[in-house]
């Protein structure tokens, strides 16, 4: 019998949290044979709602769920956790400047960095979901210097999955037959969804997406903007932001990181950049990665054409600017 893994979810009383915790408790994130103990953190105004979520977890009688900690105390929440999914954050309200949102969130991530550094289990894996996800993750990394940089990541898997979904719809093929799209850069509208290395499994073998779609105008235009703006389209339709797909993507991200990516398949993760593909070093940038033995590695040697180069640079530039803005908010 496996020892339970402790999984922290911050902002657990929020929309994404509400979709995410039952997935974790069912084994979607860590496997159907892996017991879990959920640590749920939220802020005092959400304490009652958080307790309601805890009651529902009890009522769901999940066999894998070996315990629930629901708290507004960040130290209690972080103590002993092996995986931390950081969903809590200040939402952008109407009329708020980008700098105001940034300022609120980076100070949250600065203080949570210290709590994680001091109280999480050694080798805790961290996934930041709350926006601005890349820059929140960077601040967390900078203010938790004893957590290895490779353990701090941000979510671009939702964008990756959205790209797979769009290709699957366009070609009328199963989404499970599409692979190796790439999301480069920032989890913002400057991200670059790249299909140049993506393939589809067909009855006559693996074929490049470009060869099958035969519509470069769509691939270089509408496909990219649809993926970039999908979040806004969901808000318009649902009057609420995407929660089930964000929660599902968070599970995919951690599962592949911990249990490994299938042979020949890569996924997109926001990771601490070493300057691969001439992306700026020292920001959290989304790259194609493979995972093995609990560690990610950036896929190397992919050809980048001129069209892509510009887009990689543009999103990189935005991340460099966000980093500066974040530091100016903290000083």
Q: Which are the catalytic amino acids?
A: 187
CA end-to-end distance (rounded Å), the chain:
49
∠ at Cα 38 (155, 69), nearest 5°?
Answer: 130
15 is in an annotated binding site: yes
- Which is closer to ligand NDP, CB of 7 or CB of 13? 13
CA nearest neighbour of 270 among 134, 91, 115, 173:
134
Among 92, 119, 150, 210, binds ligand NDP (CB under 6 A): 92
User: Was 92 annotated as part of a binding site?
Assistant: yes
Which lies closer to ligand NDP via its Cβ, residue 19 or residue 147? 19
User: Cα separation of 70 and 87, whole Å?
Assistant: 15
Minimum CB distance to ligand NDP, residue 237 (Å)? 13
Q: Tell me the DSSP string of 204-222.
A: TEEEEHHHHH--HHHHHTH
Q: Work out whether 256 is an interface residue with ligand NDP (CB under 6 A).
A: no
- Residue 162 known to bind ligand: yes
The closest alpha carbon to 131, from 156, 164, 94, 112, belongs to 156
Closer to ligand NDP at the Cβ: 181 or 200? 181
133 touches ligand NDP (CB under 6 A) = yes
Distance between CA 331 and CA 326 in Å, rounded?
Answer: 9
Question: Can residue 87 be called a binding residue for ligand NDP (CB under 6 A)?
Answer: yes
Helix (H) or strand (E) holding 55: helix 47-60
Query: Any contact of residue 231 with ligand NDP (CB under 6 A)?
Result: yes
Q: How far apart, in whole angstroms, are the C-alpha atoms of residue 117 and residue 140?
A: 9
Residue 91 interacting with ligand NDP (CB under 6 A):
yes
Verify binding: residue 9, ligand NDP, rule CB under 6 A: no
167: annotated binding-site residue?
A: no
112 labeled part of a ligand binding site: no
- Contact positions toward ligand NDP, by CB under 6 A? 10-11, 13-17, 42-43, 46, 87-92, 108, 129-131, 133, 158, 231, 241-243, 246
């Amino acid at each position: 019998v496996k020892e339970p893994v402790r999984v922290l979810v911050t902002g657990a009383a929020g929309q994404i949290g509400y979709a995410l915790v039952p997935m974790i408790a069912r084994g979607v994130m860590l496997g159907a044979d892996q017991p879990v103990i959920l640590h749920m953190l939220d802020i005092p105004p959400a304490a009652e709602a958080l307790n309601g979520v805890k009651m529902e977890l009890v009522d769901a009688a999940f066999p894998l769920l070996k315990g629930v900690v629901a708290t507004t105390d960040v130290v209690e929440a972080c103590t002993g956790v092996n995986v931390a999914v950081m969903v809590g954050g200040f939402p952008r309200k109407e009329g708020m400047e980008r700098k105001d949102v940034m300022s609120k969130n980076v100070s949250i991530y600065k203080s949570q960095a210290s709590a994680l550094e001091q109280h999480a289990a050694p080798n805790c894996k961290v996934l930041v979901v709350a926006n601005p996800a890349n820059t929140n993750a960077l601040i967390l990394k900078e203010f938790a210097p004893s957590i290895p940089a490779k353990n701090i990541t941000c979510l671009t898997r939702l964008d990756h999955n959205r790209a797979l979904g769009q290709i699957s719809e366009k070609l009328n093929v199963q989404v499970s037959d599409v692979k190796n799209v790439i999301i480069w850069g920032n989890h913002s509208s400057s991200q670059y969804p790249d299909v140049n290395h993506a393939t589809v499994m067909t009855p006559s073998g693996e074929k490049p997406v470009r060869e099958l779609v035969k519509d470069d105008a769509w691939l270089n235009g509408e496909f990219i903007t649809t993926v970039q703006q999908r979040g806004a389209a969901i808000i318009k339709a649902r009057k609420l932001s995407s929660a089930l797909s964000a929660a599902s993507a968070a599970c995919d991200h951690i599962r592949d990181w911990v249990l490994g990516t299938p042979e020949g398949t890569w996924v997109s993760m926001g990771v601490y950049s070493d300057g691969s593909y001439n992306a700026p070093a020292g920001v959290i940038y989304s790259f194609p990665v493979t995972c093995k033995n609990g560690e990610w590695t950036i896929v190397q040697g992919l050809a980048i054409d001129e069209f892509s180069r510009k887009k990689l640079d543009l999103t990189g530039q935005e991340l460099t600017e966000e980093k500066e803005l974040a530091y100016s908010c903290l000083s």
